[in-house]
């Protein structure tokens, strides 16, 4: 849910960092505060299954490192996002970032839809990830058992309900994700 500051300056990263830890996820997108409650069991099950499939592959194939939130990523000035799952490419010298503030670009951002986050995931976050040049953004929809694949210039997503094949720059081989198997495993179907 977005919260504009009526009659005041926009929300900033510094303001959010001053909040006490309360279990909510806080993001700042275009000066607006976005608050997301703790995720559901099924949501986290899908995130975990994606992590189990992506992390070994990204490291083996030289794509980078796969991480998950909570993570305060500042991909643009005075913006703060926490994608559910994301891939950080290795630096040009082959090293990996050691702090969140060192993450300035992503190879992939992934959001798993929840009723409370669907609108922001499909609009604000999609536009932000396109604006900062994230080459792939996946919106994972557990209810419909589909992954929406977005690229920065797409007007409509590619709907993946069977196999999603990802070939990021520098990968030694493509990732082939069996979408039905992912959901079966994550949701105990």
At 7 the pLDDT is 54
Identify whether the C-beta of residue 112 lies closer than 8 Å to the C-beta of residue 46: yes
pLDDT value, residue 3 = 57
Q: How many residues in the chain?
A: 189
CA–centroid distance for 14 within its chain: 22
Q: Please tell me the predicted confidence (pLDDT) of residue 19.
A: 86
CATH superfamily of 39-187: tt1808, chain A (3.90.1570.10)
Which pLDDT tens digits describe the chain residue by residue (189 residues)? 555 555 578 888 888 888 888 877 888 888 888 888 788 899 999 999 999 999 999 989 989 999 999 898 999 998 999 999 999 997 777 778 888 888 999 999 999 998 878 888 999 999 999 999 999 999 999 999 999 999 999 999 999 999 999 999 889 999 999 999 999 999 987
The confidence score (pLDDT) of residue 5 equals 53
For residue 29, give the 3-state DSSP assignment: strand
């Amino acid at each position: 849910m977005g919260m504009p500051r009526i009659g005041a300056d926009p929300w900033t990263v510094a303001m959010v960092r001053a909040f006490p830890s309360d279990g909510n996820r806080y993001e700042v997108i275009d000066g607006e505060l976005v608050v997301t409650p703790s995720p559901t069991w099924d949501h986290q099950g899908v995130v975990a299954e994606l992590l189990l499939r992506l992390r070994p592959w990204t490291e083996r194939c030289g794509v980078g490192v796969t991480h998950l939130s909570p993570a305060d990523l500042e991909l643009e000035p005075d913006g703060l996002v926490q994608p559910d799952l994301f891939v950080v490419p290795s630096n040009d010298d082959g090293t990996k970032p050691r702090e969140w503030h060192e993450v300035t670009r992503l190879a992939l951002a992934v959001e798993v839809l929840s009723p409370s986050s669907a609108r922001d995931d499909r609009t604000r976050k999609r536009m932000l990830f396109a604006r900062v040049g994230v080459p792939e953004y996946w919106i994972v929809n557990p209810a419909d058992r589909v992954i929406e694949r977005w690229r920065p210039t797409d007007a409509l997503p590619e709907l993946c309900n069977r196999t999603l094949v990802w070939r990021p720059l520098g990968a030694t081989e493509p990732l082939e994700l069996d979408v039905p198997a992912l959901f079966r495993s994550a949701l105990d179907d």
